[in-house]
Amino acid sequence: MKKITVYLLIITLICMMGIPVFAGLSNPTIGINVLLNQEVTKDILSDLQSHGKVQNIIYEINAVTMKIKSDELINIRSLPFVVSANPDAARNGAPIDTISAENMLDGAGTWNLDAINVTEPGFNNRQVDYDGSGVYIAVLDTGLLDSWRQYFPEERIAEEYAISFGGGGGETGTVSTQPNKWQHDQNSHGTHVTSTILGYSMYGNPVNGVAPMATIIPVKVLNQNGSGWSSVIAAGITYVADLKAGPLADYPVIINMSLGGPSLDALEQAAIDYAISKGVIIVASAGNEGEAGMGYPGAYEPVISVAASGWTGEWVSGSSWWNAADVTDPTDVTEFYITDFSSREHEGQDLDVAAPGSWIVGPYQVNSGQISYYFLGGTSMASPHVAGIVALMAEKQPAMTAAEAEAYLEDSAIPMDAGTRSILTGPGGVFYDIEWGTDATGAGLVDAAAALDMIP
């Protein structure tokens, strides 16, 4: 039994690196993603079936997923109608009580919302004229906890569009939908991410969000341990793009992806391009690999990527600093730093802006069904800040394109040079120095008020 456990651990680690699971075997069966240069036809499917089993067809982006013997991969790549073919890439990132408030618009401000000039400390203290009304944000993540209604108003969650996708190359190979699984998450990651956008109820007390009147579409694309596959991510992106092209054609639609992996999958890229062509704006985390470089899809140029920043005021004034301490106005860049885990930009990668991603409070459950809140750090926490700001921008300019949104954010960001800051390690901790280079900051720290002012 111990040997089996070790083997499973090794296989899991290999999958997370995007390597075919049984690469050491002579001719293993693997799951692959195939992108075509033309529409999917019966003749093409027949040809592909001679090399393996076609599992899924994504007609919108001319792509299929397959199960094949590994030695067939080179043959499939040589077919005249195939643009690319690669093993599916790995990706990381109850009670039904309803809270009484319909939104968190008048909720308490927090340090991270103060840092991006959305709120000040205290209640009912927003600093911008927009709240995300009329804007949909699809959170491609782990879904929501069973207890999500105890954190978020039902009015802010688009249950009619919520969905779960599962499977992928590392599991059954077939990407499938799973009714209602989106609201039975055991991981909490997607719930915490959503809380930054909407705000949340903390034991009955409202905490503000970046865009508290936006409508969230939960799209579960990661499994219960927070990992998944690029084929599943692509299915989720395509689903949201089709919503934008259909029932949500008259509304701005944004995707937040607090997830990533070490390489860009062609299927995922095609899905992103398709979504942007339909008018969707995509925001994603830069990754938590530090000097090892950015993750994908965040590093892909059309995506608005977000690094993680922190504040030198963390823990300085005690345990209540996160919602009581006041960030200097106007924002003083010397009071902020880039976290050591935030991925740096390498050649061929595109890092856009930085946002709070250190010591972010939100709903996070370590015991199923037990309401609890935790500080989390990661570019996963930084990305929803920017997705929320984009929602405010889209409320002001509903026809805004992805390229325009990125330009507004970058042009209004507060430039941040390479530097060193001294920060506390945590409650009762000690000061230590943290440093970063220009490859860590993108255009600088996001500023919601300034970005809104950029829009005519």
**Do residues 270 and 327 share a domain?**
yes
**Do residues 67 and 181 share a domain?**
no
How are beta strands 304-311 and 281-285 bridged, if at all? parallel
**Do residues 215 and 137 share a domain?**
yes
Flag the least confident range among 89-98, 202-211, 318-327.
89-98
**Do residues 55 and 184 share a domain?**
no
**Do residues 250 and 290 share a domain?**
yes
**Do residues 359 and 413 share a domain?**
yes
**Do residues 255 and 399 share a domain?**
yes
Average pLDDT over residues 382-389: 98
Band (92; pLDDT cuts 50, 70, 90): confident
Q: What percent of the chain has pLDDT over 90?
A: 83
**Predicted local distance difference test score (pLDDT) of residue 183:** 95
**Do residues 73 and 119 share a domain?**
no
pLDDT digits (tens, 9 = 90+) for 117-158: 999 999 999 999 999 999 999 999 999 999 999 999 999 999
* Average pLDDT, rounded, for the chain: 91
**Do residues 80 and 137 share a domain?**
no
Query: The domain that contains 192 carries what CATH number?
Result: 3.40.50.200
**Predicted local distance difference test score (pLDDT) of residue 24:** 46
**Do residues 201 and 319 share a domain?**
yes
Query: What domain range is 402 assigned to?
Result: 111-454
**Predicted local distance difference test score (pLDDT) of residue 360:** 96
| Cβ–Cβ under 8 Å, residues 226 and 235 | no
Asked whether residue 96 is assigned to any structural domain, the reply reads: no
pLDDT digits (tens, 9 = 90+) for 393-416: 999 999 999 999 999 999 999 999
Closest CA to 114 of 400, 336, 268, 444: 336
Closest CA to 404 of 425, 390, 424, 384: 390
Q: Inform me whether the pLDDT recorded for 103 exceeds 70.
A: yes
Asked whether residue 171 is assigned to any structural domain, the reply reads: yes
Domain count for the chain, please give it. 2
Asked whether residue 254 is assigned to any structural domain, the reply reads: yes
Band (99; pLDDT cuts 50, 70, 90): low
Asked whether residue 106 is assigned to any structural domain, the reply reads: no
